[in-house]
Structure 1
Amino acid sequence: MISDNGIYVIAEIGINHNGDIEKALEMIRSAKASGCDAVKFQKRTIDVVYSEVELAKPRDNVFGPTNGDLKRGLEFGKVEYDAIDALAKDLKIDWFASPWDEASTDFLMQYDSPYLKVASAMVMDRDFLIHCAKTQRPLLVSTGMCDLPMITRAVDAIESAGGKIACLYHCTSTYPTVDEEINLQGIRTLQRTFPHLRIGFSGHETGIMPSVCAAAMGAVSVERHLTLDRSDWGSDQKASLEVDELAELIEQLRRFEIVQGDGNLRFYEDEKPIAQKLRRNDTLETGSFDFATKLASA
């Protein structure tokens, strides 16, 4: 669970499974082996999220000749989510999803997942936010495609409806995000603006360095897209980490958790033989003393 005592790492599988449940299950196993705390999917009611005109547009794909064929082919139903739920429980890894409509939100509530994720695409839909808030499931909220006043309105809508935001994620919704638009200082802006909330980072950049820096700036959760092969077809693959990169990111994040320490300055036991070797003498006494008086009497 998300807390202040470690970085909660989410592997966003999303639709990178390309409609193949076996691939999705392999990705869950890979995320667990890499050290992730959770995996995340996306859930849509296709005929609600997309208009008839949009679904009818020509778009050659592996499922058929239209955009609707693609959208329906990518979508998982109850059989697939039952398999996801069973594997996640067996592996002891959290899973949840981003619903893109109210019916999908209700569908996800049949599973005992720790969170609902509000995607950046949905964060300005007041009715949707209120619907999610009323589930009483803790919410993870991404803030891509938003300025600060927009984010403030979204937070107010959720909290006024009695919802709980477990983490608010700084995010830029470009795939992949160029360095000039990652804007990690946004993490500190959110920390100052919403001191009662935990702040995370949902990244779509290439490489792992910005995500490690996000943790150093106080992000308590990091979310990155996962793919088995970045050259695979699909709109999110190029903004995703492959399994070895995800494992390296988690290794670096776990190391950061150690090296940041607790801020209490100490004279470590391992330093004492070094001090005996390198210091000419030690005329500053241990314990409390009046340094000004010592100087005056010198």
Structure 2
Amino acid sequence: MKYKTFILAEAGVNHNGDINLAKQLIDAAHDAGVDAVKFQTWKTELLVTEDAEMAEYQKENTQQVESQFQMLKRLELSYDDFSELKTYCDNKGITFLSTPDEEQSATFLDQLQDQFKIGSGELTNTPFLRHIASFKKPVILSTGMGYLSEVEHAIFTLEEAGLTRDEITVLHATTDYPTAPEDVNLSAMVTIRNAFPGIRVGYSDHTLGIEVPVAAVAMGAVVIEKHFTLDKTMKGPDHSASLEPQELKAMVLAIRNIEAALGNGWKVPTKTEKENRNIVRKSIIAACDIAEGALLTPDMLEIKRPGSGISPTRWDEVVNCVAKKAYTKGELI
């Protein structure tokens, strides 16, 4: 069965630590027609050491010389903020999600959401995976930077902790902002699906543009995650690799069109095609005047439109038959 694609708009930290900007992101996600908007929740002191360095893309995009701790502290929203954002999403009619980055925040988010998104950074964090699984809620698991063996370990960890495979969706991802097309490797998503029967798969995209996530849907993704922002030129670690609102809306439309185009897989004519068959298909007709009782030979027959007579697929049945009536040239046999 082909599931409707669950489109997850990743606001992430593109609120820049401002709850009012976070609400504007929710508005934009709702207007784009996505299924859910997702943030990231953490307590900096529980997430990172004070001297951990930023990634190169973070240094470039923030144009700041600071530690990861300083950057994350600046972007951190409070638990009260997230409770307010959850209520705001409910009032807008869009699903709220946030990715916890440590166990305390995961426990807090269990009050706010009916499923969990686990980021690529936690793929190998066995105690954290067990903690998430203890909530007995569906999990969407990103696998950026991972080997297939690490994906296997994460799935088995979640299963051993009580989740079933139909409660786990695994997202292929490349943790690079932005990701170059040659580093996407969408076929790995299919590899994951084939390697773990019963696991649903999707794709978390960090490329520029919308082509790759749309292609992922055509290849069977049932979840698409994509970063978005109000303005790519804003300072922050993820803005430049995110979609702006109109691009997000275009991606949603393209995905919904691809879903419709995928269909049910049955090779049968559509209603419109059935109406066109007699116009476009051909029939066996008389190539000359034929007398009643004549033996029908190939030179006495032609194949032309319309398709309302005997189909050319029955050519061998018609040739060498006796004409049961007289035909004029051009008449359908």
TM-score by structure 2 length? 0.80
Q: 1:13, 1:39 within 8 Å by CA — same for their partners in 2?
A: yes
Q: Tell me what 1:170 maps to.
A: 172
Matched, 1:32 2:67: no
Q: How does 1:96-107 map to 2 (within 5 A)?
A: 96-107=97-108
Q: 1:173 to 1:265 in 2, by over 3 A?
A: same
Q: 2:282, 2:312 within 8 Å by CA — same for their partners in 1?
A: no
Q: 1:132, 1:163 within 8 Å by CA — same for their partners in 2?
A: no
Question: Where does structure 2 lack aligned partners over 5 or more consecutive residues?
Answer: 54-58, 284-308, 322-333
Distance across 2 between alignment mates of 1:295 and 1:189: 51
Secondary structure in structure 1 of the residue aligned to 2:52? helix
Distance across 2 between alignment mates of 1:274 and 1:203: 41
Q: Tell me what 2:12 maps to.
A: 14
Secondary structure in structure 2 of the residue aligned to 1:136? coil
Counterpart code for 2:310: T
Residue 186 of structure 1 and its aligned partner are, at CA, apart by 0.8
Secondary structure in structure 1 of the residue aligned to 2:51? helix
Q: 1:269 to 1:135 in 2, by over 3 A?
A: closer
Percent pairwise identity: 31
Q: Tell me what 2:42 maps to.
A: 44
Distance across 2 between alignment mates of 1:270 and 1:63: 59
Distance across 1 between alignment mates of 2:212 and 2:66: 39
Q: 1:118 to 1:66 in 2, by over 3 A?
A: closer
Residue 54 of structure 1 and its aligned partner are, at CA, apart by 3.4
Distance across 1 between alignment mates of 2:64 and 2:105: 22
Q: Tell me what 1:78 maps to.
A: 79
| Higher-Rg member (1/2) | 2
Residue 257 of structure 1 and its aligned partner are, at CA, apart by 1.3
Q: How does 1:79-228 map to 2 (within 5 A)?
A: 79-111=80-112, 113-164=113-164, 165-228=167-230
Give RMSD over aligned pairs. 2.6
Distance across 2 between alignment mates of 1:295 and 1:207: 57
Q: 2:310 aligns with which of 262, 268, 283?
A: 283
Q: 1:264 to 1:62 in 2, by over 3 A?
A: closer
Q: 2:51, 2:68 within 8 Å by CA — same for their partners in 1?
A: no
Q: 1:154 to 1:292 in 2, by over 3 A?
A: farther
Residue 23 of structure 1 and its aligned partner are, at CA, apart by 0.6
After superposition, the C-alpha distances for 1:37-86 in whole angstroms (9 at most, x for unaligned) are 0011111121121113339xxx9x89997654432221111221121111
Distance across 1 between alignment mates of 2:191 and 2:66: 45
Question: How many aligned residue pairs are there?
Answer: 287
Residue 182 of structure 1 and its aligned partner are, at CA, apart by 0.3
After superposition, the C-alpha distances for 1:132-191 in whole angstroms (9 at most, x for unaligned) are 111112111000000111111111111111134431101110000001110010111011
Q: 1:169, 1:199 within 8 Å by CA — same for their partners in 2?
A: yes
Q: 2:48, 2:68 within 8 Å by CA — same for their partners in 1?
A: no
Residue 96 of structure 1 and its aligned partner are, at CA, apart by 1.2
After superposition, the C-alpha distances for 1:94-130 in whole angstroms (9 at most, x for unaligned) are 111111111111111121x121111000110111111
Counterpart code for 1:156: F
Distance across 2 between alignment mates of 1:131 and 1:296: 75
Distance across 1 between alignment mates of 2:72 and 2:98: 17
Counterpart code for 1:141: L
Distance across 1 between alignment mates of 2:128 and 2:267: 48
Q: 1:174 to 1:283 in 2, by over 3 A?
A: same
TM-score by structure 1 length? 0.89
Question: Where does structure 1 lack aligned partners over 5 or more consecutive residues?
Answer: none
Counterpart code for 1:227: T
Residue 296 of structure 1 and its aligned partner are, at CA, apart by 9.2
Q: 1:63, 1:73 within 8 Å by CA — same for their partners in 2?
A: no
Distance across 2 between alignment mates of 1:6 and 1:297: 54
Distance across 2 between alignment mates of 1:209 and 1:173: 18
Q: 1:293 to 1:125 in 2, by over 3 A?
A: same
Distance across 2 between alignment mates of 1:47 and 1:198: 34
